[in-house]
Structure 1
């Protein structure tokens, strides 16, 4: 029984760690959110669309945070940079 509890604790720790990492990544975009997309509620499709529309203007910190949070992929960022000639 102790073995199963240990496994459950490890799984729980991994999940909590992933959630807190995602939240920390998204917090890096607070300034960009206020500047470009403050009219949209958090966790809405409108906000996602707005941030993508302003992707070329987002701070490097925010882009890194979005990648860290899993909201966008590094491959997507690379494609956009290449399309802009950066």
Structure 2
């Protein structure tokens, strides 16, 4: 997932609808999966902060890698 996000991100994040289409999954599934890579705290455990999720005024979700996420993937992704 992180490698796909890195490949599709052109600097402004990637629409979750685009990621969902590429993965053949629903946006809600991707939202749950990407939340695990964010800084969200679930069950008392804080995630690694590799992904930032944002929603705009129209309700469209985007995801982007943080510098920590890019480092986790490593050079050459």
TM class, shorter-chain normalised?
under 0.3
- Structure with larger Rg: 1
TM-score, scaled relative to structure 2: 0.25
Q: TM-score, normalised by structure 1?
A: 0.23
Structure with bigger helix share is 1
Larger strand fraction of residues: 2
